[in-house]
Amino acid sequence: MTSSLLAARLDGLLFFPVTAYGPDGSVDLDTFRAHVRGGIDAGAAAVFACCGTGEFHALTPEEFRACVSAAVAEAAGRVPVVAGAGYGTALAVQYARAAEEEGADGLLALPPYLVVPDQEGLRRHYTALADATGLDVVVYQRDNAVLAPATVAQLARHPRIVGLKDGVGDLDLMQRIVSAVRTAEPGGEFLYFNGLPTAELTSPAYRGIGVTLYSSAAFCFVPEIAVAFHRALAGGDEATVRRLLDGFYRPLVELRDKGRGYAVSLVKAGVRLRGLDVGGVRPPLSEPAAAHVEELAALVERGLALLAEDARADGERPHGA
């Protein structure tokens, strides 16, 4: 395991932008760029383009290239751009090479398509992907790609596999993975990410086993809340963490669980509610029910009100208190 330039830069809020579509259903690059630009200006530490929230599965190779290129142009070196790469090994390699050609700084290796491989198959898949380009790779475990601790320890030895994003939520498994990699590579640098759909809800638990990085879908549409939560969590402000968990994030998860695909479609609805028309989702996803969008609007208002209350409370405290 070697030192990674990308790994050194992935420190802070990780922004997974949605992909914008115009009225005719085609990719709207101008709106996508505005979305990416807004996220970077709001404090994103990295842009993960064309990943799960960005509907990687729904993009043509040409659209993928265009979106990665647009994200790289908007980032302009201020923050790294990591692109999704998925499907079977041969196609994942093609997407990885396209991302490298368009200037991406790294890859998020999405689960392989459909099949449920064994550990050796997963090791070969991610190794081939990492061998295909000069880009650093973060492996995303979820669904049909759940890795054993020994497999992660093997992958961590690859000079371009720099981290693991967990979308499973099994803390026992994650603790064993962290321990296995630490034992196999004492003193090595390997990153771990909480990649659950609304990661803030479980971030306090993940921090208990040393996993401090997380992807924030909420950042797409309420960056103010996401930044405030991240700052409170990192700074040990447990009162603010609890207030935002109870008043915003737990209700958001409960709303998200009311419909299939809401981890993406509800996020896009949130972006539209905040004034940027990024369009809907492409099939096979569907739009959230109107009543659920209304619930989301009320929840956003509640979350912003919590921030306003905190700001007023800070203003009323005596100087130096």
Looking at residue 56, its amino acid is F
Q: Which of 216, 235, 227, 223 is nearest to 14 (CA)?
A: 216
Q: Which of 21, 95, 126, 165 is catalytic?
A: 165
Cis omega (within 30 of 0) for bond into 149: no
Alpha-carbon distance of 104 to 49, in angstroms, equals: 9
Alpha-carbon distance of 57 to 141, in angstroms, equals: 16
Residue tagged 């449920």 (tokens): 116
| Active site annotation includes 206 | no
Instruction: Tell me if residue 59 falls in helix, strand or coil.
Output: coil
Token pair for 180: 């296995």
Q: Which of 71, 92, 90 is nearest to 82 (CA)?
A: 71
Q: Which of 21, 95, 126, 140 is catalytic?
A: 140
Token pair for 172: 């026992």
| Active site annotation includes 262 | no
Token pair for 217: 């879908």
Query: Are 27 and 274 contacting, i.e. CB atoms less than 8 angstroms apart?
Result: no
Phi, psi of 46 (to 5 degrees): -160, 155
Token pair for 82: 């990591």
Q: Which residues fall within 8 angstroms of residue 185, CB to CB, at 6 or more apart?
A: 1, 153, 156, 157
Token pair for 310: 């905190």
Would you please indicate which residues are annotated as catalytic (active-site) residues? 140, 165
